[in-house]
Chains A and B, each alone.
Chain A
């Protein structure tokens, strides 16, 4: 009985904590993206609401709450309503295993990394649902593109993660961090790190791989018909997804929470946001790839490279 109570309280607190983190993270990231893009583009960005526009996202969120929720007349209503939820829930689940610091993690599962990858793949299902149910040709084209490109970046993503996993010999995220007590994995696996960042950017559907929602081609892609908070949830999911991909990259390659002087949590967040900054930098610098070019890149460059890296890693482990 006591165990159940304790477990219940634990779940409740974790859930509140995760939702709080997700919201604050999204608020911060949207503000950060606007500021980063503004400074890259020689302009100040939001300045009016709060200190240097820090509260701008809150104002925007309030506006979105007040917007009408439009459902297209011929939409497949159930799927249309479910799509944002299916998009958002897996993202939430991934937080269970992310180790923010030695003590701050919800569950230290021994299949941690697998769980994150399994759930992040579900985003494609949500995109397909949204694109199909909207009964809009642009949305449908966006959804088709999204499904077609999934394989192109998810296989190399998994293979690069694998080369770290066979080094460590565990799928547990805390084990992976513990392994990097002296040297970060990025020094052993520089190629894997680069591949992981490229695939991770594609995983989050961000420029130069923002093909499913390519604004100048497909208006807004799969979420063209979504308005108000339903649109906001897609937005929230995108930014949370960025956080998760960067967190995984931090754990796999940058030693997780490890670092001198500063507390572990600070180190972890610093590394995560540094990777996110890198992804923002990509977005505001590069033009968009064409859909078939991404698939070519995935199949002809990323997959062979990641496989070669995996084999080399395996050989090196066998020899040393």
Chain B
């Protein structure tokens, strides 16, 4: 558009990433900017592509297990669980109940640690540094607990086909109970420091509204979908493992804005605590491994799809076996890929500062997208 002679109104391109503090990984977003406002945006992915799906075809079933700790490294145990469930379903291995309970306890702990990390990193995006350190302090307790039985702090490879390799001990149970009461006593701090902060509410209320239609159109799942008010949680809608035994709620948002997604995640942590508490109370005695799981696993020909609810949404594995020691084909349905694809619509005509707030609220793990 020509405004005056010689002055032309132009948009310019801004690269957000691949190295940028707000992308939390090697995601690149090309923004077409009209001053401070975003006219168009396009995510460019693939910088962290490691061919996880192809790797599955080149490894035996057991050898592929460690990969599942590295797709979404923040909620690795859910990925572990999904893969184990797929193989168990294919081979017909029955998992003992105690093992399922241990899986649920550890996976929910992992979910809380993932949400806590998101909480801190998100506030960092909004320019508040201190909550980051507070929630890392809390998260450290989870890492210590999980380190105790899984042996690692981040890229877990804990579950086995047919159960879990290590049983929980008294110290783990006592530590988990102590952690539950500790985290519950912290909600008030988080509320007064962040959730009730006027600046925080101004930055998040009515920003980046995702309508339920948009969310469904792009296949958004997890807290992002529930923030828009759609009660879809695989733990409830297609229950797996021993989740039906527990009493918990699905927190929902109303407006689908950034604040709703934030509140949903905070409430989910409390629900996870409830699940862990009940699981610890009901923890049955018994074996932790199924009997007679062959060392050289050769599932029969067939195909299965299993899905779990991770901290970021629906993670599914579609596994095809031709009766070999290696999978014939393995497809990962990752939540972050769909959650990212809705981003350009949310970025339309917002300011850079809001774009950072929206990008953060989607809780993307970039290796999960690139996989």
Contact = CB atoms under 8 A, between A and B. Distances in A.
A211 B22 CA distance: 15
A289 interface: yes
A289 B203 contact: yes
A186 interface: no
B130 A40 contact: yes
Interface in B193-215: 193-194, 197, 199-200, 202-203
B20 A219 contact: yes
Contacts of B134: 41-42
Interface string B32-75: 01011000000000000000000000000000000000000000
B129 A284 contact: yes
Given A141-B36, A286-B197, A290-B351, A217 B22 contact: yes
Contacts of A286: 127-128, 197, 199
B200 to A, nearest CB: 5
B12 A216 contact: no
A287 B360 CA distance: 14
B332 interface: no
A141 B12 CA distance: 11
B193 A208 contact: no
B199 to A, nearest CB: 5
Interface string A198-222: 0000000001101100111111000
A261 B28 CA distance: 61
Contact of B128 (A43, A219, A285): A285
A60 interface: no
Contacts of A138: 14
19 contacts: A40-B130, A41-B132, A41-B134, A137-B33, A141-B352, A144-B36, A207-B127, A210-B127, A216-B21, A216-B22, A216-B356, A219-B20, A284-B129, A285-B130, A285-B193, A287-B197, A287-B203, A288-B126, A290-B202
Given A141-B352, A287-B200, A289-B199, A41 B127 contact: no
Contacts of B14: 137-138, 141
B202 to A, nearest CB: 6
A291 B21 contact: no
B133 A42 contact: yes
Contact of B356 (A145, A207, A217): A217
Given A210-B127, A214-B127, A216-B127, 4 more contacts: A141-B352, A287-B128, A290-B353, A291-B351
A293 to B, nearest CB: 6
Considering residues A211, A287, A292, which has the most beta carbons from chain B within 10 angstroms of its beta carbon? A287
Interface residues of B, number: 32
A37 interface: yes
Interface band, chain A: 20 to 34
B12 A137 contact: yes
Chain B interface, DSSP helix/strand/loop, else mixed = helix
Contacts of A292: 351
Contacts of A42: 133-134, 137
A293 B36 contact: no
A241 B99 CA distance: 61
A214 B16 CA distance: 14
B314 interface: no
A210 B199 CA distance: 13
A137 B33 CA distance: 10
B351 to A, nearest CB: 7
B108 interface: no
A285 B35 CA distance: 30
Contacts of A211: 353
B309 interface: no
A43 B352 CA distance: 32
Nearest to B123: A287
A293 B352 contact: no
Contacts of B130: 37, 40-41, 284-285
B126 A41 contact: no
A284 B193 CA distance: 11
A141 B36 CA distance: 7
A37 B202 CA distance: 24
Contacts of A207: 127
A77 to B, nearest CB: 22
A214 B203 CA distance: 14
A141 B352 CA distance: 10
Contacts of A289: 199, 202-203
Given A208-B199, A291-B351, A43 B133 contact: yes
B124 interface: yes
Nearest to B356: A217
Contacts of A145: 36
Interface string A137-153: 11001001100000000
Contacts of A284: 129-130
Contacts of A141: 14, 36, 352
A41 B129 contact: yes
| 7 smallest beta-carbon distances between A and B, as pairs | A288-B127, A41-B133, A287-B128, A287-B126, A290-B353, A216-B125, A216-B22
Nearest to B19: A219
B354 interface: yes
Interface string B146-179: 0000000000000000000000000000000000
Nearest to A40: B130
A218 B124 CA distance: 13
A290 B203 contact: yes
A217 B357 CA distance: 9
A208 B128 CA distance: 8
Nearest to A220: B21
Interface string A67-89: 00000000000000000000000
